[in-house]
Structure 1
Amino acid sequence: MSQAPEGAPPPPPPPPPPQLRGAQLLKAALEQAGSGGQDDVRELLRRRRASFNEHLKWLLFNKPVPSLIQEGPQCGLVALWMAGTLLHQPRAASLEEIIQVALERGYTAQGEMFSAADMAKLAEEVFSCQAELLSGGLEGRNQERLLRHLLAGLPLLIPYDEDSNHEPCLRRGYKAHWAVASGALLGLKGDPQLLDCQEDEEMPGLFHATPPYSSLPLGAVAETYLLSKQGKSCRYQLWSYQQVQESNAQLTHFSPKRAADGKVYVVPGGGVQEGLCGKAVLLQPAPKPSEA
């Protein structure tokens, strides 16, 4: 191999790897979700296996979403981008486009989203989808509505208070954060007939359903966990539904730390309680013209 003449300047460094943008970024993220996403869930279940009630049958269903790490207070917009990948739109909106529309409509100033109603309107505009704003908390009929939505293979956006490990906690809204739920793990009592489900080869008692799945008798559900992602980690998390519901139900106050940081934030007239407490956003593709 020839050497450069003595005293010659060193060769220039190799060019940096190309930065993925727009459609390229989405394609790479979807490939990651399709391969590593399910492996991530399996490893999560292996770690948590000992905590599951062995007297129940467990049903897992999930439509993997790609991961995207937020920069600054963009948790809601990042969660929306992740959820949008499940809507199978002809053209996917980039995070940059979502941020730009949110700024232009006055929904955000720093990337924050303190209004679930604004989140629903933003989703419909950037993804040309249908967004349902759910109010009144995540219990009762709303819980059944959310589970059937996830069973259909559709994404759900949930505001909650984020703990240091990213799990839901109770901080009165001071740590308000957004996550996307794309699946669930259900503990079923009795002997429910799990049609078209496959029992896991490594974990007996765990059954896999492929969304959309409509054969589940929800009356048999004894325990519920949500499979969720949020913008501060690439990995799925498994959260107790009750833990999520309780965190969502106590989002009432704006963080004093944010109020004193000198920045402008867009908060609805009724505050965090009006914008986020007891709210969730359900997304689904808009009906085709022949179906409308």
Structure 2
Amino acid sequence: MSSPCFPPLEPPALSPETPVPQGPVAPPLPLPSDLSSLAFPLPASSPQAPIPPPPPLPPPPPVGGLAPPHVFGLEKSQLLKEALEKAGPVPGSRDDVKRLLTLQKDRFRSDLWWILFCADLPSLLQEGPQCGLVALWMAGTLLAPPSGIPLERLVQMAMDRGYTAQGEMFSVADMGKLAQEALGCQAELLCGGLGGPNRERVLRHLVSGHPLLIPYDEDFNHEPCKKKGYKAHWAVSTGVLLGTQAVPSLGYSEDPELPGLFHPVPGTPRRPPPPPEEGSPGAVYLLCKQGKSWHYQLWDYDQVQDSNLQLTEFSPERAADGRAYVVPEGGVRAGLCGQALLLSPKDSGR
């Protein structure tokens, strides 16, 4: 299905041992008559010596546990190493959602049943202005072979194609071309915002388990805000939390730890519930990750939509920092405003 604004994107053409010093050998000292006065234990071969216990076994690997996050630049940053050691395993999407629903329960409507559609992603912490390429790398783990695509390769390809100077991405269209070439996936560019007819398209895409790349303005807590594009950032969404008045009877199971939260049953035929109507506040949350944290976040759909629609200006701070940036003709407004990227495997039949 094509976007109402752009047709499907077309990829560009590929062009000795140290000698022991010798010295006088002292005669052996006579043993004391009372062996119990020895300050060290008797050898294990002696019948009087206790047998030492065996060393403890190494801890078993975690069963079903998640790997620690991939951290770009980890080898160069002691601070990142220490943070990673303290963080422990990366929580899965369900774990993070249940944590958020418990800790921030006042944010979520108590008159609704909640259904979570999600796909797990690894984490990758960005270094420098590479948030878009980091988001694309995370999305690529759902689209590319298990070996994945190294971030360094994505950065180099983007630089070679003229899409970026140092890892920044100010064009959703260029991101789509890069995704098609590097990941071999389908890319659909949406424009005109996440509302209107695009809203149903986005929700259906996420319920199907495919990733969505979204530019937005980033607040201090990484959530979407409105800064006119001065804090332009990228996130990847791989799930959605839907509030509904009734849960379909087949294909869904209630979470054993959190009543009121339902999950699709894998391998079971099911019909997705009708999405909440546009204008239903607090009924749709996007499950997102971005390159400054290895935790998932739940963002109100309308909040993301509003942030995405007001990306219109290039940050004066960036403009004055002396670095080179690749900004498309027409600026941030033409490259990011009201746009998002739907990614899916090439054989998904879209």
Q: TM-score range by the shorter chain?
A: 0.7 to 0.9
Equivalent residue number for residue 242 of structure 2: 186
Higher RCO (CA-CA < 8 Å; seq separation 6+): 1
> CA shift at 1:214, angstroms?
6.2
CA contact (8 A) 1:198 1:208 kept: yes
> CA shift at 1:48, angstroms?
2.0
Q: Deviations over 1:162-211 (max 9, x none)?
A: 0011000000000000000011111113x342531111122222111257
Aligned equivalents of 2:123, 2:321: Cα separation in 1: 29
Equivalent residue number for residue 286 of structure 2: 226
Aligned equivalents of 1:93, 1:175: Cα separation in 2: 27
CA contact (8 A) 2:101 2:108 kept: no
User: Which region of structure 1 is more displaced relative to structure 2, 50-59 or 87-96?
Assistant: 87-96
CA contact (8 A) 1:161 1:172 kept: yes
CA RMSD of aligned residues (A): 2.3
Where do residues 1-292 of structure 1 align in structure 2 (5 Å cutoff)? 29=69, 36-89=92-145, 91-189=147-245, 191-209=246-264, 215-220=271-276, 222=280, 223-287=283-347
Q: 1:214 to 1:84 in 2, by over 3 A?
A: farther
CA contact (8 A) 2:217 2:229 kept: yes
The alignment of Structure 1 onto Structure 2 pairs a total of residues equal to 262
Counterpart AA for 1:104: D
* Identity %, equivalent residues: 59
User: Is there any run of 5+ residues in structure 1 with no aligned partner, and where?
Assistant: 1-26
Counterpart AA for 1:176: A
Aligned equivalents of 1:260, 1:283: Cα separation in 2: 34
User: Which region of structure 1 is more displaced relative to structure 2, 202-211 or 147-156?
Assistant: 202-211
Counterpart AA for 1:175: K
SS of the residue corresponding to residue 154 of structure 2 reads helix
CA contact (8 A) 2:203 2:275 kept: no
Equivalent residue number for residue 13 of structure 1: none
User: Is there any run of 5+ residues in structure 2 with no aligned partner, and where?
Assistant: 1-66, 71-88
CA contact (8 A) 1:37 1:66 kept: no
SS of the residue corresponding to residue 218 of structure 1 reads coil
Query: How high is the TM-score relative to the length of structure 2?
Result: 0.70
* Higher helix content, 1 or 2: 1
Counterpart AA for 2:256: E
**Structure of larger gyration radius:** 2
SS of the residue corresponding to residue 58 of structure 1 reads strand
Aligned equivalents of 1:220, 1:111: Cα separation in 2: 37
Counterpart AA for 1:179: A
SS of the residue corresponding to residue 101 of structure 2 reads helix
